[in-house]
Structure 1
Amino acid sequence: MSDTTVTAIPALSELTTLRVGGVPQALIAPTTEVELVKAASELWSQDEPWLILGGGSNTVAPDDGFPGTVLHVVTRGIETLPSEHEGEVRLRIQAGEPWDDVVAHAVAHGWAGIEALSGIPGSTGAVPVQNVGAYGQEVGSALVAIDVLDAESLEVRRLEASELKLGYRDSIFKHGYQGLITAVELTLTQAGTDASASGAPVAYAQLATALGVELGARVPLSAAREAVLALRRSKGMVLDSADPDTASAGSFFTNPIVPESFARDLPGDGPRWPVADQPDDGPVLVKLSAAWLIEHSGIARGFALPGSRAAVSSKHTLALTNRGGATAAEIVQLATFIQARVSNDFGINLQPEPVIL
């Protein structure tokens, strides 16, 4: 038994934001980067099943638990590295550091570049996997590199951001690459010495409206962070044990990207946005609103299947919530029903954002 093995094993419902999942066969929780690499290397060398779990904000865990070992990534720490350019701040962050703690740390020190990513649950190591983005910012804009334990070589490699093929909620980890991120390196802008410093230009209309400014305006980092947190709370996207709308995995479906020619056949009032990274050859792509598609397929906020304890959030159509005692099976049943309705009405297959085990 490893010295990082947890003897009183909690149910996965205690380690995930959706609050579903049974007790795994075993759980280990290394507290240092060295221990994390050693534990993962040993697990990859065995034939038994195992699972990497960070903050649990993007996971639908099985009701029967997990028939193997769960590697719970809890390594924490934020290190300031020497900067190569004046006015820049370079950070190296342990994979288990809660992401919102990183944003709060940056804002408090007057470092701009990730303030619009406030309130996003989960751990830092998971952020590059999906190229997390919100309110006009993406982590890819600040990401320099990651340290990753490669599953094939069992060696720790440094991968530059350019090697990760980052896109909308996308990276090489979504296309077959296997590895465990152990640390993340970011470069931020030294905007000032504290949270009163002005951040990056506001790049999202809803955030600009909340702040009472024009798009492109600069506001204090503290103001941007508080506005983002307020917007997320209004959608049930900030964890609150007293609010069942926050017992979710955040947005359950990604916004679909389709050919522009296909989008022309959809109702004209459906939102659509240009896609920055267009294919070199092929149709022009646009991004649609998954929330609009769900609502216009007849599924309203608060919708639940008869007898189910899983429901669409009463605040935000994209979130599926555990109203108290829901099972993973009920969450998946609701998600499948929504997918079928959208597919029948619009011919679009919504893709889940969280990992469904």
Structure 2
Amino acid sequence: MQELHDAPLAPLTTFRLGGPATRLITAGTDAEVIAAVREADDSGTPLLVIGGGSNLVIGDEGFEGTALRIATEGFSLDGTRLELAAGEVWTDAVARTVEAGLAGIECLAGIPGSAGATPIQNVGAYGQEVSSTITEVIAYDRRTRETVVIPNAECAFSYRHSRFKADPDRFVVLRVRFALEDAAGLSAPLKYAETARALGAEPGDRVPLAEARETVLKLRTGKGMVLDPEDHDTWSAGSFFTNPILRDEEFAAFRARVRERLGQEAQPPAYPAGDGHTKTSAAWLIDRAGFTKGYGTGPARISTKHTLALTNRGDATTEDLLALAREVVAGVREAFGITLVNEPVTVGVTL
């Protein structure tokens, strides 16, 4: 277990933003993770758990307390059953499952971050969510001071949400178990129209696993969503805002506002989101409110490749980023009456 004091946290995040932590511990085993958590809890020290840092916005003042970086390793396949240590690099794990001929998470290729973060956010993209394949989450329960096994049904998964996100100070994820599918080298049925089009297929079709993964990686790269140290469009947290889910009456009011603003023929994106709810596109809202690709003149700007990504152009501060985010939120609210919600977790700051 490595320990540093007054340790920079910016290099541990994909934004490359944020001040130092009073203390930074890097834990390489589950036992070290638990020991560090218990020590912080016993002493009343604030604790910040860091995995891949791809979903964090840390304030410029840093974090007064213990930052715990989970660097555990472990990739275990037993037939179609997969177990990942929380510190495993997610996109590498996806590649290994594809190489093993197993389907279920191939469309989640290229997503930055660690395996332990995936159930917290219920990570999803291109028609797949981890909640569809996770069977159990092994976590340390800070309330009972025990290691617990939480089955899928008790994880309360929903769109970009879970019980872990709802109660962030209770559980520290140690390992995640998945049930994948052996489909003779083929992918899971395609659910996302853009992916199907890029593959020359139809939604519901299966395609060779490697082709599905490579196509998703190309799509993500084109949007600046695959990490590249030389590309400032990837100095981001990916999608900064979640897609709004509106009640039927809210969506009707929103659609009327769209037609009033953009013309009677204008149709906002609409996707079924469960009984009495419709999901619309945050990217569409941002663009139609006037915040187009590359928007901004300062060191924090909207990506030149995707309107949902706010980026650090190299010398931004967290306050620069937040100022841009607040401008976008205010502009979308004024234009369409919808308040966007940030997807990344904020530490020491609020939007």
TM-score surpassing 0.5? yes
Residue aligning to 1:159: 150
Instruction: Give the aligned residue type for 2:42.
Output: S
Q: Is the Cα contact below 8 Å between 2:5 and 2:21 reproduced in 1?
A: no
Structure 1 CA distance for aligned equivalents of residues 6 and 29 of structure 2? 20
Aligned-residue offset at 1:29: 0.7
- Spell out structure 1 runs of 4+ moving beyond 4 A: none
Residue aligning to 1:49: 46
Q: Which runs of 5+ in 2 are unaligned?
A: 259-265
Pick from 270, 273, 288 the counterpart of residue 280 of structure 2: 288
Instruction: Give the aligned residue type for 2:12.
Output: L
Structure 2 CA distance for aligned equivalents of residues 181 and 327 of structure 1? 30
Aligned: 1:270 with 2:268: yes
Residue aligning to 1:281: none
Q: Which moved more, 1:290-299 or 1:171-180?
A: 171-180
Residue aligning to 1:238: 226
Note the alpha carbon deviations across 1:161-181, whole angstroms, 9 max, x for none. Answer: 100110100111232352100
Aligned: 1:18 with 2:15: yes
Residue aligning to 1:334: 324
Aligned-residue offset at 1:261: 2.1
SS in 2 for 1:126: helix
Residue aligning to 2:302: 312
TM-score by length of structure 1 reads 0.91
Residue aligning to 2:190: 202
Number of matched residues? 336
Aligned-residue offset at 1:264: 2.1
Residue aligning to 2:109: 118
Question: Percent of counterpart pairs with the same letter?
Answer: 45
Q: Is the Cα contact below 8 Å between 2:7 and 2:22 reproduced in 1?
A: no
Residue aligning to 2:216: 228
Q: Which moved more, 1:178-187 or 1:258-267?
A: 258-267
Structure 2 CA distance for aligned equivalents of residues 43 and 68 of structure 1? 9
What CA RMSD, in Å, does the superposition of the two structures yield over aligned residues? 1.3
Map 1:49-128 → 2, pairs under 5 A: 49-81=46-78, 89-128=80-119
Map 1:136-215 → 2, pairs under 5 A: 136-176=127-167, 178-192=170-184, 197-215=185-203
Structure 2 CA distance for aligned equivalents of residues 211 and 9 of structure 1? 49
Structure 1 CA distance for aligned equivalents of residues 19 and 306 of structure 2? 27
Residue aligning to 1:251: 239
Q: Is the Cα contact below 8 Å between 2:5 and 2:23 reproduced in 1?
A: no
Pick from 10, 14, 24 the counterpart of residue 27 of structure 1: 24
Structure 2 CA distance for aligned equivalents of residues 255 and 313 of structure 1? 17
Structure 2 CA distance for aligned equivalents of residues 37 and 239 of structure 1? 30
Structure 2 CA distance for aligned equivalents of residues 65 and 151 of structure 1? 24
Note the alpha carbon deviations across 1:37-85, whole angstroms, 9 max, x for none. Answer: 121122122212121011000001111221111000110111224xxxx
SS in 2 for 1:68: strand
Aligned-residue offset at 1:242: 1.1
Aligned-residue offset at 1:36: 1.1
Q: Which moved more, 1:57-66 or 1:103-112?
A: 57-66
Pick from 294, 300, 311 the counterpart of residue 302 of structure 1: 294
TM-score by length of structure 2 reads 0.93
Residue aligning to 1:85: none
Residue aligning to 2:261: none
Structure 2 CA distance for aligned equivalents of residues 80 and 107 of structure 1? 12
SS in 1 for 2:82: strand
Q: Which moved more, 1:38-47 or 1:334-343?
A: 38-47
